[in-house]
Chains A and B, each alone.
Chain A
């Protein structure tokens, strides 16, 4: 560890306890090793003093549950160090696995309810009488014939998309809507629902880029790099 020019882990003493600042540019495993080295080999009276709260700041880095477990494991070397908080800069410190989208498959049949937290990609059909509900967005690769409720805890920025878009009812946050009695059968292709002026609107996915420019992929962005 001595060959590092600048330490990846900076320790600061504050009134509340010890602040561990982790360099986000270093690999996480190297940081763990550095912390372990410091805790094990650097003799200092802080390690053996009374119970000390520890705050860990990850910088602009998110870690997985396994990484968090490892991190806490390292700190358990010194019994008097109590990990009180783990924080990342401007985002939740825990990264949900596979880029935040959960993938599930199957058939949601009449009377069945699939509930989920976060964005959900569902491979299969949601049949009439079945219900798919999530706090985030819902993407159905299959036929959506039942009820879909996205943003079930009030998030109004979510969307519901399905390759075969034939829902009996749609809900986004608190807004409830049903498709017109005579569905326009001429509309082919994938469609999605979103909130527009507290009403649910349905459009072709081709229009999604205009509504959510931050989601849109453009080739020239990459060319300019």
Chain B
């Protein structure tokens, strides 16, 4: 019996899909059987990030409407044998599935996979509610910006009402240089306001954009700081004790290294 984890944020564009793709891939690279479920019906992206767009035959709505079995809809990743994707439908909208249907599907997938990672759409409406309902755990992604933190706070409040375990936080697109200037919130400040456990800090990294346009997640690149941060997050998800402080420091260390190289 596996575990289902929803990746959510409230605000759009903070890196939910990137986080889902990278954590999923990182877990699969460690030999776990992982299924990614894209619930952003009508605005699907996860398949694009993974470079699997051209392999889609059946999608989430097909599974739920009974046009195919979930086995048929599972797309195997190009590089990881243990990573699978159920893509969202592009021509429907969020109301095409009900929360009960998704809950049942996630429960079925949990039988087969070690981890079922649910990529949640932005917003707090129907799509969010559907995505959250089948999840055992939640990861809240935020960037160190006021707007994103505000929305994350709202989402954490909503998650606490649902039967989801205490959400964990990922601070994405962290820029230590900017933080030093006082132009960006510190990780500590973000954690202070949101008052939940920190799962990881992912530095702002252009290789994420590079990876996105190539259709392969950044965790494959050993030198990519963001990729390493995601791998650490994956290790923590598996219950490995990677203490928070070293993780944060490591993030900072990468940045220092990068800025030293920049100075050179």
The answer to whether A and B belong to the same complex is yes
Selected from B156, B157, B158, B193, the residue in CB contact (under 8 A) with A145 is: B193
> Which residues of chain A come closer than 8 Å to B151, judged between CB atoms?
110
Instruction: Determine whether the beta carbon of A129 is less than 8 Å from that of B195.
Output: no
Mask of A115-147 contacts with B, CB within 8 angstroms, 1/0? 000000000110111100000000000010100
Contact B157 A110 (CB under 8 A): yes
A111 close to B193 (CB less than 8 A) = no
Q: Is A107 an interface residue (CB 8 A)?
A: yes
B47 contacts which chain A residues (CB < 8 A)? none
Q: Does A177 lie at the interface of the complex (its beta carbon under 8 Å from any beta carbon of B)? A: no
Q: Does B110 contact A (CB under 8 A)?
A: no
Q: Is A112 in the interface zone, CB < 8 Å from B?
A: yes
A109 at interface by CB-CB < 8 Å: yes
A contact set with B: CB distance below 8 Å: 107, 109-112, 124-125, 127-130, 143, 145
A-chain residues with CB within 8 Å of residue B156 when the two chains form the complex: 109
User: Does B77 sit at the interface, judged by CB under 8 A?
Assistant: no
Does chain A have a CB within 8 A of B129? no
Partner of B154, one of A107, A125, A129: A129
The interface residues of chain B lying within 8 Å CB-to-CB of A145 are 193
| Chain A: CB-nearest residue to B196 | A107
Indicate if the CB atoms of B193 and A125 lie closer than 8 Å: yes
In the bound complex, CA of A93 to CA of B80 (Å):
72
* Set of chain B residues within 8 Å of A125, measured between Cβ atoms: 193, 195
State whether the Cβ of B40 lies closer than 8 Å to any Cβ in chain A: no
Contact among B153, B158, B192, B195 for A128, CB-based, below 8 A: B153
Q: Answer whether residue B32 sits at the interface, using C-beta atoms and an 8 A cutoff.
A: no
Q: Which residues 162-198 in B have Cβ within 8 Å of A in the complex?
A: 192-193, 195
With both beta carbons as reference points, the residue of chain A lying nearest to B156 in the complex is identified as: A109
The answer to whether the Cβ of B235 comes within 8 Å of any Cβ in the partner chain is: no
Listed by A's residue number, 12 A-B pairs whose Cβ atoms lie within 8 Å are A109-B157, A109-B160, A110-B150, A110-B154, A110-B157, A111-B157, A111-B158, A124-B195, A125-B195, A128-B153, A129-B150, A129-B153
Q: How far is the CA of A129 from the CA of B160 in the complex (A)?
A: 16
Q: Which A-chain residue is minimally distant from B10 (CB atoms)?
A: A110
Nearest opposing residue in chain A for B151, CB measure? A110
